[in-house]
Amino acid sequence: MDPIIIEGTPKTPTVNFDATTGKIEIKGRSIPENSIEFYKPLVDWLESYSGAALANTVVNIQLEYFNTSSSKCILDIFKKLENIAKAGSAVIINWYYEEDDEDMLEAGEDYQSIIKVPFKMIEIEE
């Protein structure tokens, strides 16, 4: 399975999905013109990955900002990860937030309350 590697821009996050290591990373800002168009290949990739997921999948989410339409797409990604976990793989989501960023911490906690996958809230010192 080919990895997905997308360089970040001022409007889109850096993405690195690697099936050989089981590492999934989304970092930066997520305010794309069309969130669904940006995130669809990622959701599709996870659907394919779920058929051959590694025993351990580590997800690193380190967003400094995302808009409302991105939040729905991120939830879709988490739902795919939840399915991978239900199928027997260990999935851990590391949710990074800056120490002063209450909004990003709350966003992570909101996802954590919806998705049945272990979340680790990790504070980044500025």
Q: What is the mean pLDDT of the chain?
A: 97
* pTM confidence score: 0.95
Tokens of residue 98, six digits: 């800056």
Please write the tens of the pLDDT for every residue from 75-112.
999 999 999 999 999 999 999 999 999 999 999 999 99
How many domains are contained in the chain?
Answer: 1
Q: Answer whether residue 47 shows pLDDT above 80.
A: yes
Retrieve residue 47's tokens. Answer: 């659907």
Helix (H), strand (E) at residue 26: strand 23-30
Write out the two tokens for 103.
Answer: 């909004």
CB 31 within 8 A of CB 64: no
| Mean pLDDT along residues 15-37 | 98
- The domain of 39 spans 4-124
Q: What is the mean pLDDT of residues 58-69?
A: 97
User: 98: Cβ–Cβ under 8 A, 6 or more apart, which residues?
Assistant: 64, 104, 123, 124, 126
Share of the chain above pLDDT 90, in %: 98
Closest to 74 measured CA to CA, from 83, 63, 90? 63
**Residues 122, 88: contact at Cβ < 8 Å?**
no
Instruction: Report the SS3 class of residue 106.
Output: helix
CATH of the domain at 41: 3.30.750.24
pLDDT at 126: 72
Residues comprising the chain, all counted: 126
Predicted pLDDT at 41: 98
